[in-house]
Amino acid sequence: MVILQQLDQTDRKILLALDEDPRIPVMLLAQKLGLARGTVHSRLERLAAAGTLRPNSARVLPEAVGRGVTAMVSAELDQSKLNDAIDALRNIPEVLECHAPAGDTDLLLRVVAKSPDDLYRVSEEIRLCPGITRTSTQMFLREVIPYRITGLLHEE
């Protein structure tokens, strides 16, 4: 859970630099920003503890591991089996994210697959999870705006 916090200019500078190069070592980050290493380290610890930073990840692109097809799957549930469905979805490696949106859809999943035929397999695996009563799959043809956060870090 993210703890809402106010980001000051130093936090924003650190986050912008990390957005540019997420693997930069703390010492180089401190030198680049003209800050003490201890300051950068403590800020990063605080931001991580508050849930501001995404969990560590190599940020591997799905295409690099043979999963070039991306889709959104919306799922309708038997509400009494929500936890069973989520537990089963966690065991499907192609499910990259799962959200509980407002509206008619109970769960919204971002999934990847090797091909359209493989996407059918993944969609069926999702549909057969306990508690899921219906699914709808929309395959993405192209990413036109990739995940980004930089613009939000420039806001005051």
What contacts 151, CB < 8 A, 6 or more positions away? none
pLDDT of residue 128: 98
Per-residue pLDDT of the chain (156 residues; tens, 9 = 90+): 555 568 889 999 999 998 888 889 999 999 999 999 999 999 999 988 888 887 766 667 899 899 999 999 999 999 999 999 999 999 999 999 999 999 989 999 999 999 999 999 999 999 999 999 999 999 999 999 988 888 888 866
Q: Which domains does the chain have, with CATH numbers?
A: 9-49 (1.10.10.10), 62-139 (3.30.70.920)
Distance between CA atoms of residues 127 and 111, nearest Å: 13
pLDDT of residue 29: 94
The three-state secondary structure class of 137 is strand
In 3D space, the residue among 133, 74, 140 whose CA is nearest the CA of residue 101 turns out to be 74
User: Within 10 Å of residue 141's Cβ, how many Cβ atoms?
Assistant: 8
pLDDT of residue 99: 97
The residue to which tokens 């969609």 are assigned:
123
* Residue length of the chain: 156
Distance spanning both ends of the chain, measured CA to CA: 23
Distance between CA atoms of residues 30 and 38, nearest Å: 9
pLDDT of residue 4: 54
